[in-house]
Structure 1
Amino acid sequence: MQNINTFNIQRAILKDLNLLQEISINTFAATFSSSNSAENIAGYIEKNLNLQQLALELNNPNSHFYIAYANAEAVGYIKINFSDAQTEKIAGNTLEIHRIYVLQSFHGKSIGQLLLDKALHIARDAKCENVWLGVWELNHKAIQFYNKNSFIVFDKHDFMMGNDKQTDLLMKLSLLN
């Protein structure tokens, strides 16, 4: 078990593109390969996690990436979307958490929580009413994490993983207190 002595989060910039891709592919494959075909995983990675697509996302002024470092090693990231960068039209001033990716070897070390806390801090600073996200209905570990953080299911949508139609739960946290 690795001891984390120092931890920090930094906003990603274009020079971090290869690092974002590496974390994305490793995390996506580790999380979803056991429940999806190799062809569907490869197709998703090729279409959505290629350098050109990630660069488009990173250069979008309404999308922000933050990389988590533990002992100076990049171990995960969060991608948040504002305004028209959001993947769904949600009423009001909202922030979407599009991805929280933490390398599997760093699960259980509170990195996901620290990244989520960063997103919530940004949302509060932006005076957002809600923070929302989509999570695959079979990703029970993630759903439990979001439930623990007071997110509630408010809707669902279809998500195509190659030729497999899956369901994402849409979850939100109200910041109006």
Structure 2
Amino acid sequence: MTNALIIRLAMVDHASALASLGRATFKQAFAHLFQDHDETLERYLEQTFTLNKIAKSLLKPNNKYWLALIDEKLIGYAKLKLRSSHPLCRGRRIGQLQKIYVDSTEIGGGVGRALVKIIEDEARRQLCDRLWLSVHEGNAQARGFYEHIGWRDIGQDTFAIGELQLSYRIMVRDLES
């Protein structure tokens, strides 16, 4: 018997759990990019996934987070950032699927799809007509997933973490009402 997936809106009292899961899932997804740069990775995790930083982000009116749980165990989360454009993706009503992380043991089980659907539905409710996201250029599995569910690649961007320059693909999804 499979256990039911529950998606719920995150509140500020979830900040600690989000910070812990964020650290763990980021490391699962990207540690291989930091070979010979362990200190850079640890610094990034310590700066990005602090309790204070996540709590402040949860309180911003343009940010909405959702938690994915199975048997009350947090296995993933996603973040929608409203009114967030990108030089390759402009418009009046743009949102960003800014974060989506799922524990590596749960990938392929529908958690990512459920989180993306929640983000897209909320973006429509907030009258966004387009969403964008960035996905690491080397993550063919994630890029294929987004293409399969209707997102399209519109170009490349880079992001620096310490001395590392990482290449990303920018993907968009036009939202019909």
Q: How do 1:1-177 and structure 2 match up within 5 A?
A: 4-36=2-34, 37-83=37-83, 86=84, 88=86, 90-176=90-176
1:30 partner amino acid: Q
For the Cα contact (< 8 Å) 2:20–2:49, is it kept in 1? no
CA contact (8 A) 1:6 1:72 kept: no
SS in 2 for 1:119: helix
Aligned partners of 2:85 and 2:95 also within 8 Å? no
Q: Which digits, 9 at most, give the CA deviation of each residue in 1:103-127, with x for residues without a partner?
A: 1111111100100011111122222
Moved over 4 A (4+): none
Q: Which amino acid in structure 1 is aligned with residue 170 of structure 2?
A: L
8 Å contact kept, 1:4–1:70: no
What residue identity is the alignment partner of 2:4?
Answer: T
Partner SS for 1:76: strand
What's the secondary structure of 1:92's corresponding residue? Answer: coil
Greater displacement, 89-98 / 55-64: 89-98
CA distance in 1, matches of 2:85, 2:136: 15
Matches of 1:18 and 1:73, distance apart in 2: 14
Mapped partners of 1:44, 1:146: distance in 2: 26
2:138 aligned counterpart, secondary structure: coil
8 A Cα contact 1:7 1:72, kept in partner: no
Gaps of 5+ in 2: none
RMSD of aligned C-alpha atoms?
1.6
SS of aligned partner of 2:97 = strand
Q: Which runs of 5+ in 1 are unaligned?
A: none
Q: 1:87 offset after TM fit, Å? A: 6.7
- Check conservation: 1:10, 1:68, Cα contact below 8 A: yes
Write the letter of the residue equivalent to 1:172: V
Tell me, in whole angstroms, the C-alpha distance in 1 between the residues paired with 2:172 and 2:93: 13
Q: TM-score normalized by structure 1?
A: 0.91
Instruction: Give the match's secondary structure for 2:42.
Output: helix
Q: CA deviation at 1:69?
A: 1.0
TM-score, with length taken from structure 2: 0.91
Counterparts in 2 of 1:156 and 1:17: CA distance versus 1, 3 Å? same
